[in-house]
Structure 1
Protein backbone atom coordinates (compact mmCIF):
# COMPACT_ATOMS: atom_id res chain seq x y z
CA UNK A 1 0.00 0.00 0.00
CA UNK A 2 1.10 3.55 -0.68
CA UNK A 3 0.25 5.01 2.72
CA UNK A 4 2.19 8.23 3.45
CA UNK A 5 4.04 8.17 0.13
CA UNK A 6 4.41 11.76 -1.03
CA UNK A 7 4.33 12.75 -4.69
CA UNK A 8 2.60 11.56 -7.83
CA UNK A 9 4.03 8.95 -10.18
CA UNK A 10 2.44 10.43 -13.33
CA UNK A 11 2.76 7.08 -15.11
CA UNK A 12 6.55 7.32 -15.40
CA UNK A 13 9.55 5.66 -13.83
CA UNK A 14 11.68 7.68 -11.44
CA UNK A 15 14.31 8.82 -13.97
CA UNK A 16 11.68 9.92 -16.50
CA UNK A 17 9.74 11.75 -13.78
CA UNK A 18 12.86 13.56 -12.56
CA UNK A 19 13.71 14.61 -16.13
CA UNK A 20 10.13 15.81 -16.65
CA UNK A 21 10.21 17.93 -13.48
CA UNK A 22 13.60 19.37 -14.41
CA UNK A 23 12.47 20.28 -17.93
CA UNK A 24 9.18 21.81 -16.78
CA UNK A 25 10.81 23.94 -14.07
CA UNK A 26 13.51 25.06 -16.51
CA UNK A 27 10.87 26.08 -19.05
CA UNK A 28 8.93 27.95 -16.36
CA UNK A 29 12.01 29.91 -15.28
CA UNK A 30 13.00 30.62 -18.89
CA UNK A 31 9.59 31.66 -20.24
CA UNK A 32 7.66 32.79 -17.15
CA UNK A 33 4.61 30.71 -18.09
CA UNK A 34 4.07 27.18 -19.35
CA UNK A 35 0.96 25.34 -20.53
CA UNK A 36 0.72 21.83 -19.10
CA UNK A 37 -1.70 19.40 -17.47
CA UNK A 38 -3.05 20.13 -14.02
CA UNK A 39 -1.41 17.05 -12.46
CA UNK A 40 2.03 17.97 -13.82
CA UNK A 41 1.64 21.59 -12.72
CA UNK A 42 0.66 20.57 -9.19
CA UNK A 43 3.67 18.25 -9.01
CA UNK A 44 6.14 20.85 -10.35
CA UNK A 45 4.90 23.89 -8.40
CA UNK A 46 6.68 23.11 -5.08
CA UNK A 47 9.92 22.31 -6.91
CA UNK A 48 9.78 25.63 -8.78
CA UNK A 49 9.10 27.47 -5.52
CA UNK A 50 12.18 25.87 -3.91
CA UNK A 51 14.37 26.77 -6.88
CA UNK A 52 13.20 30.39 -6.85
CA UNK A 53 14.02 30.50 -3.13
CA UNK A 54 17.53 29.33 -4.04
CA UNK A 55 17.65 32.14 -6.60
CA UNK A 56 16.66 34.64 -3.94
CA UNK A 57 19.34 33.36 -1.58
CA UNK A 58 22.17 33.67 -4.09
CA UNK A 59 25.66 32.44 -3.33
CA UNK A 60 27.78 29.78 -4.93
CA UNK A 61 26.31 26.86 -2.97
CA UNK A 62 22.74 27.75 -3.94
CA UNK A 63 23.84 28.18 -7.56
CA UNK A 64 25.43 24.71 -7.57
CA UNK A 65 22.32 23.16 -6.02
CA UNK A 66 20.15 24.74 -8.73
CA UNK A 67 22.56 23.64 -11.47
CA UNK A 68 22.49 20.05 -10.17
CA UNK A 69 18.71 20.03 -10.61
CA UNK A 70 18.22 22.13 -13.77
CA UNK A 71 21.39 21.10 -15.67
CA UNK A 72 21.38 24.25 -17.82
CA UNK A 73 23.76 27.15 -17.25
CA UNK A 74 21.50 29.58 -19.12
CA UNK A 75 18.44 28.79 -17.00
CA UNK A 76 20.44 28.95 -13.76
CA UNK A 77 21.91 32.29 -14.80
CA UNK A 78 18.40 33.62 -15.50
CA UNK A 79 17.19 32.25 -12.16
CA UNK A 80 19.90 34.03 -10.18
CA UNK A 81 20.18 37.26 -12.20
CA UNK A 82 16.53 37.92 -13.10
CA UNK A 83 13.91 35.77 -11.36
CA UNK A 84 15.47 35.60 -7.88
CA UNK A 85 16.00 39.36 -7.47
CA UNK A 86 12.46 40.07 -8.76
CA UNK A 87 11.06 38.10 -5.82
CA UNK A 88 13.59 39.35 -3.23
CA UNK A 89 10.91 40.98 -1.06
CA UNK A 90 8.32 38.21 -1.46
CA UNK A 91 8.40 35.53 1.28
CA UNK A 92 6.94 32.76 -0.91
CA UNK A 93 4.11 32.01 -3.30
CA UNK A 94 6.02 32.80 -6.48
CA UNK A 95 3.85 30.75 -8.86
CA UNK A 96 0.16 30.36 -9.65
CA UNK A 97 -1.95 27.83 -11.52
CA UNK A 98 -4.60 29.22 -13.91
CA UNK A 99 -7.12 26.67 -15.17
CA UNK A 100 -7.79 26.63 -18.92
CA UNK A 101 -10.26 23.80 -19.44
CA UNK A 102 -10.00 20.38 -21.05
CA UNK A 103 -7.58 19.53 -23.85
CA UNK A 104 -9.41 18.67 -27.07
CA UNK A 105 -7.72 15.35 -27.78
CA UNK A 106 -8.15 13.54 -24.47
CA UNK A 107 -10.05 15.97 -22.18
CA UNK A 108 -7.08 16.30 -19.82
CA UNK A 109 -7.40 19.33 -17.54
CA UNK A 110 -4.99 21.97 -18.91
CA UNK A 111 -3.55 24.88 -16.92
CA UNK A 112 -1.02 27.67 -17.10
CA UNK A 113 1.70 27.42 -14.48
CA UNK A 114 3.10 30.94 -14.31
CA UNK A 115 5.16 33.24 -12.16
CA UNK A 116 2.90 35.63 -10.25
CA UNK A 117 4.49 38.71 -11.84
CA UNK A 118 4.20 37.30 -15.39
CA UNK A 119 3.02 39.84 -17.97
CA UNK A 120 2.29 38.43 -21.45
CA UNK A 121 4.19 40.06 -24.28
CA UNK A 122 2.02 42.03 -26.74
CA UNK A 123 1.29 39.98 -29.82
CA UNK A 124 2.37 41.22 -33.24
CA UNK A 125 0.08 41.18 -36.26
CA UNK A 126 0.69 38.29 -38.68
CA UNK A 127 3.09 39.02 -41.55
CA UNK A 128 0.38 38.63 -44.21
CA UNK A 129 -1.82 41.24 -42.56
CA UNK A 130 1.04 43.75 -42.36
CA UNK A 131 1.89 43.77 -46.07
CA UNK A 132 -0.20 46.11 -48.14
CA UNK A 133 -1.59 44.84 -51.45
CA UNK A 134 -1.58 48.31 -53.04
CA UNK A 135 2.15 48.73 -52.54
CA UNK A 136 2.87 45.35 -54.10
CA UNK A 137 0.58 46.08 -57.07
CA UNK A 138 2.24 49.48 -57.63
CA UNK A 139 5.69 47.91 -57.56
CA UNK A 140 4.85 45.41 -60.32
CA UNK A 141 3.61 48.04 -62.80
Structure 2
Protein backbone atom coordinates (compact mmCIF):
# COMPACT_ATOMS: atom_id res chain seq x y z
CA UNK A 1 0.00 0.00 0.00
CA UNK A 2 1.16 3.54 -0.72
CA UNK A 3 -0.56 5.26 2.17
CA UNK A 4 1.06 8.58 3.15
CA UNK A 5 3.76 8.32 0.50
CA UNK A 6 3.77 11.65 -1.28
CA UNK A 7 6.63 11.24 -3.76
CA UNK A 8 5.45 11.07 -7.35
CA UNK A 9 7.75 8.49 -8.93
CA UNK A 10 6.98 9.54 -12.53
CA UNK A 11 8.29 6.22 -13.83
CA UNK A 12 11.92 7.09 -13.13
CA UNK A 13 14.69 6.22 -10.71
CA UNK A 14 15.28 8.75 -7.94
CA UNK A 15 18.38 10.40 -9.41
CA UNK A 16 16.78 10.79 -12.84
CA UNK A 17 13.61 12.18 -11.27
CA UNK A 18 15.50 14.69 -9.10
CA UNK A 19 17.57 15.93 -12.05
CA UNK A 20 14.49 16.20 -14.27
CA UNK A 21 12.56 18.21 -11.66
CA UNK A 22 15.56 20.49 -11.09
CA UNK A 23 15.74 21.05 -14.84
CA UNK A 24 12.02 21.88 -14.97
CA UNK A 25 12.38 24.38 -12.14
CA UNK A 26 15.42 25.99 -13.81
CA UNK A 27 13.36 26.38 -16.98
CA UNK A 28 10.53 27.89 -14.94
CA UNK A 29 12.96 30.36 -13.37
CA UNK A 30 14.41 31.36 -16.75
CA UNK A 31 11.22 31.54 -18.81
CA UNK A 32 8.55 32.25 -16.12
CA UNK A 33 6.26 29.63 -17.71
CA UNK A 34 6.67 26.03 -18.86
CA UNK A 35 4.39 23.54 -20.57
CA UNK A 36 4.69 19.95 -19.37
CA UNK A 37 2.55 17.04 -18.28
CA UNK A 38 0.22 17.52 -15.33
CA UNK A 39 2.06 15.01 -13.12
CA UNK A 40 5.44 16.64 -13.76
CA UNK A 41 3.97 20.09 -13.17
CA UNK A 42 2.58 19.05 -9.79
CA UNK A 43 5.94 17.57 -8.77
CA UNK A 44 7.92 20.58 -10.02
CA UNK A 45 5.56 23.02 -8.27
CA UNK A 46 6.47 21.53 -4.92
CA UNK A 47 10.19 21.98 -5.54
CA UNK A 48 9.79 25.50 -6.95
CA UNK A 49 7.76 26.72 -3.99
CA UNK A 50 10.21 25.25 -1.47
CA UNK A 51 13.09 26.96 -3.27
CA UNK A 52 11.37 30.36 -3.27
CA UNK A 53 10.61 30.04 0.44
CA UNK A 54 14.26 29.14 1.05
CA UNK A 55 15.54 32.02 -1.10
CA UNK A 56 13.41 34.57 0.73
CA UNK A 57 15.81 34.15 3.68
CA UNK A 58 18.67 35.43 1.53
CA UNK A 59 21.44 33.90 3.64
CA UNK A 60 24.60 32.27 2.37
CA UNK A 61 23.39 28.94 3.72
CA UNK A 62 20.12 29.29 1.80
CA UNK A 63 22.07 30.13 -1.38
CA UNK A 64 24.22 27.03 -1.00
CA UNK A 65 21.20 24.80 -0.36
CA UNK A 66 19.37 26.20 -3.39
CA UNK A 67 22.44 25.81 -5.57
CA UNK A 68 22.79 22.19 -4.50
CA UNK A 69 19.12 21.48 -5.17
CA UNK A 70 19.41 23.01 -8.65
CA UNK A 71 22.63 21.06 -9.31
CA UNK A 72 24.88 24.13 -9.42
CA UNK A 73 22.93 26.02 -12.09
CA UNK A 74 24.39 29.41 -11.17
CA UNK A 75 22.30 31.49 -13.58
CA UNK A 76 19.00 30.09 -12.32
CA UNK A 77 20.12 30.46 -8.71
CA UNK A 78 21.11 34.09 -9.33
CA UNK A 79 17.76 34.95 -10.92
CA UNK A 80 15.94 33.18 -8.10
CA UNK A 81 17.71 35.23 -5.42
CA UNK A 82 17.86 38.60 -7.22
CA UNK A 83 14.45 38.79 -8.92
CA UNK A 84 11.95 36.11 -7.96
CA UNK A 85 12.41 35.83 -4.18
CA UNK A 86 12.31 39.62 -3.56
CA UNK A 87 9.20 39.83 -5.74
CA UNK A 88 7.41 37.36 -3.43
CA UNK A 89 8.81 38.70 -0.14
CA UNK A 90 5.36 39.68 1.23
CA UNK A 91 3.54 36.59 -0.05
CA UNK A 92 3.28 33.73 2.48
CA UNK A 93 3.14 30.95 -0.11
CA UNK A 94 1.43 29.83 -3.28
CA UNK A 95 3.97 31.26 -5.71
CA UNK A 96 3.01 29.11 -8.70
CA UNK A 97 -0.16 28.11 -10.52
CA UNK A 98 -1.00 25.15 -12.72
CA UNK A 99 -3.30 25.71 -15.68
CA UNK A 100 -4.62 22.54 -17.24
CA UNK A 101 -4.65 22.45 -21.02
CA UNK A 102 -7.55 20.86 -22.87
CA UNK A 103 -5.62 18.90 -25.46
CA UNK A 104 -3.70 15.78 -24.66
CA UNK A 105 -0.42 14.61 -26.05
CA UNK A 106 -0.11 11.68 -28.48
CA UNK A 107 0.28 9.25 -25.59
CA UNK A 108 -2.88 10.71 -23.96
CA UNK A 109 -0.90 12.48 -21.21
CA UNK A 110 -2.76 15.48 -19.84
CA UNK A 111 -0.80 18.69 -20.41
CA UNK A 112 -0.52 21.72 -18.14
CA UNK A 113 1.20 25.09 -17.86
CA UNK A 114 3.23 25.83 -14.74
CA UNK A 115 3.83 29.55 -14.15
CA UNK A 116 4.49 32.09 -11.42
CA UNK A 117 1.34 33.61 -9.90
CA UNK A 118 2.63 37.17 -10.18
CA UNK A 119 5.16 37.70 -12.90
CA UNK A 120 7.83 40.28 -12.12
CA UNK A 121 7.02 43.43 -14.09
CA UNK A 122 9.16 46.28 -15.29
CA UNK A 123 12.71 46.46 -16.58
CA UNK A 124 14.66 44.13 -18.81
CA UNK A 125 15.12 41.69 -15.92
CA UNK A 126 11.48 40.61 -16.10
CA UNK A 127 11.67 39.55 -19.74
CA UNK A 128 12.00 35.89 -20.67
CA UNK A 129 15.49 34.74 -21.58
CA UNK A 130 14.68 34.69 -25.31
CA UNK A 131 13.63 38.36 -25.48
CA UNK A 132 16.23 41.01 -26.17
CA UNK A 133 16.52 44.25 -24.27
CA UNK A 134 16.81 46.23 -27.50
CA UNK A 135 13.46 44.93 -28.76
CA UNK A 136 11.76 46.06 -25.56
CA UNK A 137 13.13 49.59 -25.68
CA UNK A 138 12.58 50.41 -29.34
CA UNK A 139 10.38 53.39 -29.97
CA UNK A 140 8.99 54.56 -33.30
CA UNK A 141 11.19 57.16 -34.95
CA UNK A 142 9.62 60.58 -35.37
CA UNK A 143 10.31 62.88 -38.30
CA UNK A 144 11.45 66.42 -37.52
TM-score range relative to shorter protein: 0.7 to 0.9
Q: TM-score, normalised by structure 1?
A: 0.80
Aligned partner of 2:89 in structure 1 is: 88
Q: What is the 5 A alignment of 1:90-109?
A: 90-109=91-110
Aligned partner of 2:118 in structure 1 is: 117
**Comparing 110-119 with 99-108, which one deviates more in the overlay?**
99-108
Task: Give the CA deviation at 1:73.
Answer: 0.6
SS in 1 for 2:101: strand
CA distance in 2, matches of 1:81, 1:5: 34
Q: What is the 5 A alignment of 1:1-141?
A: 1-70=1-70, 71-118=72-119
Larger Rg computed on CA atoms: 1
Considering fraction of residues, name the structure with more helix: 1
Q: TM-score, normalised by structure 2?
A: 0.78
CA distance in 2, matches of 1:9, 1:37: 14
Unpaired runs of at least 5, structure 1? 122-141
Contact 2:55/2:63 (CA < 8 Å) preserved in 1?
yes
SS in 2 for 1:102: strand
Contact 2:105/2:111 (CA < 8 Å) preserved in 1?
no
Aligned-residue Cα RMSD (Å) equals: 1.9
Aligned partner of 1:126 in structure 2 is: none
Q: Per-residue CA shift, 1:95-140, capped at 9, x if unaligned?
A: 000111233412211110000013797xxxxxxxxxxxxxxxxxxx
